[in-house]
Each structure stands twice: as C-alpha cells, then as structure tokens.
C-alpha cells in the first residue's frame, strides 16, 4: 500500500531528542525558545508562542486577541473542525462563509455576504487549506474595510506564499500545527505567531497558567506549553522543511503533467499563490467517487477524503442552530479525494499512483 501520509523522521531528529533526554530538561525551556525564534522569523513575525497543538494555538490566538462570549467570528464552512471548535471554546459564535469552487479556500465574495449579514462581526479566521494560500489581497482588504481582526489558520500551509509573502504574516495572529502528517512535525504541537507584542504577551500568559513570575497567576490560564522534546524534533524538521516542500511540489507537478483521466480534475492554484501541497486533492466527477476509492484500495493506493461533511452539519453541531446548506461546499465535499503527495514517495510510487488513477473506468462508462 502506498500510504496517504508518512512522517519523515531520521537520525537527526532522534539525536536531537536524545540530547534533550540526556540534559534532563524535558519540559518547556531553551529548546522551545529556540524553536519559537526560528519559526516565527521564518513566518515574518516578531513573536512565536509554542503550544501543545494547532487547536490550542487557535484558541490561544483568539483569546489573546480578546475574542470571547458574544463575539462573532467569520470563518469557512469547509475545514477540519478544530478551526471552528476553537471559536466555540472562547464562547464566541462562528459565522460561516462558503468556499471557492476551484481552490476550496474561503470565498471572499461569501465573506462579504457574511459581513453584510453580520456587521457586528469582530474577527475573520481564514484557513489556508491543503497547502494553498487564500486570496489574501481580497481578504486583507475586507478585514481592513470592516475593522475585522484577522487570524490565519496555517495548519496545512507551512511555507506557503501569496505573491511572495509567506502565510502567517498577513493577519493579527496566525496559527500552525505540527501534527505528524503536516509538512513538518513535532509529534504533536502548534504555534501562534504574531507581530503584536501585547498579543504575544497575553498568549504566553495563557499557555502557562497565567504566570509571568512563578506562582503568581495574573489571569486564568492553561497548561498548553510545548516540551523541549517536541521542540527538538521541530528544530530538526524545520531545517528540512524546504526540502520536504520541494519534494511535495515536484510530486504535484508530476501529477499535473500525467493525470489524464477525464473523470478527474486536478487542483487549481491561483495566480500569485505558491502551494506547498499538504494534500494533493482531486475532484472525481459525475458521482463516481465511491467507485474511484474502491479502485484505489484494490490497487494499493492510499487516499483521504478531507472532508466528507461541512463543519455546520457535523453531528456535534446539531442543536447549535447552524445552517448546513452551503452550495459550493456541499458540491465539493462529495467529489474530493486526496492522493499521496508526501516527500516519502519514490519516483516509482508517484508513477504508480498516476497509472492507477488513469486506469480508473467505472462500469457503464465508455
């Protein structure tokens, strides 16, 4: 089976972990601080605050920006549920917008419609889905015009760029995930990046039980601190991120050039966007997705369906009063399939994936 994801862990990561283990300083410390400095600089931000996950990073960023009970946050209807759960954790209300049919990212036109319907909205949380940046020209203009705080969910977009500017540098704060399947990993972990010193200060208090001075708790905080062990992996992985992304992009180019099945639509990357292909997500047309994934399974090709439901229609959200009808999202969720694109693939693997996809022909189709 050619897997849909495969973390790239080598001797450098193992040596880095053992160095921390041998030091005896396993919890949050100088290794975490080094990782925060390196990664935030890469993102074009002044401050980095490492956390336990991408989800806690989102919650901390929202709380540090003052989002709370009674506030409204506009966000995408199509993403992993953490994007919206983090809003609910603060007591705020998500206001959903639909997605662009080509990129699957939040649609600026739908954002404007949401703003018109909810002029009291306080913030906009966008997700750079599958490694492709959102249309940040349009989004930044909307946020500025309507005095919206802007938060970037960059969990799937480490190193992605919009017109040469790296994601994570556009908003008031941005959040990354370092889950094992992401473009780089710390095992589990996340990070808030920001250039606003008051937001960074508040975020650092929030992740550390509200402490600036030991045993003096200024606010009610959390234990969302990253460990030195995780940060050691992160530093080793960060040194390889450019290599990882380049391999994903090369694999994606191969698929762009070689996938020729008329029932399959390859990803569209907007002009000005640089995708890092966290996923290579195709569309299977004419209602043939079920047959297509059965074909992949029968031929040893891993896949993922990200995501089979819109966020508003998730079972956990029943009774919360959210509409579950989003025309573009409701179409796309029935067509998408992500195929292996990760840097662990060999040339033979990539060629085999393309061959299997091109051979797909459902019964009854000439």
Q: Convert the pLDDT of each residue in 300-353 to its tens digit.
A: 999 999 999 999 999 999 889 887 689 999 999 999 999 999 999 999 999 999
Per-residue model confidence (pLDDT) at position 364:
74
Q: Convert the pLDDT of each residue in 89-118 to its tens digit.
A: 999 999 999 999 999 999 999 999 999 999
Categorize the per-residue pLDDT at 231 as very low, low, confident or very high, splitting at 50, 70 and 90: very high
User: Which pTM value belongs to this model?
Assistant: 0.97
The DSSP letter of residue 208 is: B
Does 365 or 204 have the greater pLDDT score? 204
Would the pLDDT of 363 be above 90? no
CA-based nearest residue to 343, from 1, 113, 3, 12: 3
* Three-class secondary structure of residue 302 per DSSP: coil
Would the pLDDT of 365 be above 90? no
Please, what are the domains in the chain? 11-97+104-238 (3.40.640.10), 242-358 (3.90.1150.10)
Mean pLDDT of the chain: 97
Torsion sign, CA atoms 120, 313, 192, 44: negative
Categorize the per-residue pLDDT at 141 as very low, low, confident or very high, splitting at 50, 70 and 90: very high
Q: How many CB atoms sit inside 10 A of residue 321's CB?
A: 8
The CA-based dihedral angle spanning residues 57, 61, 64, 65, taken in that order and rounded to the nearest 10 degrees: -170
Per-residue model confidence (pLDDT) at position 29:
86
Contacts of 19 (CB under 8 A, 6+ apart): 232
**What are phi and psi for residue 271, nearest 5 degrees?**
-60, 130
Per-residue model confidence (pLDDT) at position 200:
98
Does 23 or 28 have the greater pLDDT score? 23
Q: Mean of the pLDDT values across residues 170-199?
A: 98
Contacts of 310 (CB under 8 A, 6+ apart): 77, 78, 96, 324, 326, 329, 330, 333
Q: How far apart are CA 194 and CA 61, in angstroms?
A: 9
């Amino acid at each position: 089976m050619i897997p849909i994801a495969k973390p790239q862990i080598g001797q450098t990561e193992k040596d880095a972990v053992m160095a921390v283990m041998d030091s005896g300083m396993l919890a949050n410390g100088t290794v975490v601080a080094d990782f925060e400095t390196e990664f935030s600089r890469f993102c074009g931000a002044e401050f980095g605050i490492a956390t336990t996950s991408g989800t806690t990073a989102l919650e901390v960023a929202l709380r540090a920006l003052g989002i709370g009970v009674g506030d409204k946050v506009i966000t995408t209807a199509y993403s992993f549920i953490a994007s919206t759960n983090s809003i609910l954790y603060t007591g705020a209300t998500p206001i959903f917008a639909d997605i662009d049919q080509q990129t699957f990212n939040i649609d600026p036109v739908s954002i404007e419609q949401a703003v018109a319907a909810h002029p009291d909205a306080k913030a906009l949380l966008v997700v750079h889905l599958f490694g492709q940046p959102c249309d940040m020209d349009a989004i930044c203009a909307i946020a500025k015009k309507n005095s919206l705080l802007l938060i970037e969910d960059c969990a799937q977009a480490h190193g992605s760029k919009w017109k040469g500017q790296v994601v994570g540098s556009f908003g008031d704060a941005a959040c990354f995930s370092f889950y094992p399947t992401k473009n780089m990993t710390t095992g589990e972990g996340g990070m808030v990046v920001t250039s606003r010193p008051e937001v960074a200060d508040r975020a650092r208090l929030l992740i550390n039980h509200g402490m600036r001075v030991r045993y003096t708790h200024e606010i009610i905080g959390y234990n969302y601190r990253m460990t030195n062990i995780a940060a050691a992996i992160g530093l080793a992985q960060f040194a390889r991120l450019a290599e990882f992304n380049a391999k994903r992009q090369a694999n994606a180019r191969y698929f762009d050039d070689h996938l020729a099945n008329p029932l399959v639509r390859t990803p569209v990357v907007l002009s000005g966007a640089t995708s890092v292909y966290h996923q290579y997500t195709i569309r299977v047309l004419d209602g043939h997705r079920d047959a297509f994934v059965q074909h992949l399974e029968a031929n040893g090709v891993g896949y993922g369906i990200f995501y089979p439901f819109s966020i508003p229609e998730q079972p956990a959200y029943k009774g919360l009063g959210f509409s579950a009808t989003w025309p573009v999202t409701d179409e796309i969720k029935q067509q998408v399939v992500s195929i292996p694109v990760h840097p662990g693939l060999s040339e033979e693997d990539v060629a085999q994936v393309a061959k299997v996809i091109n051979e797909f022909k459902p019964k009854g189709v000439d």
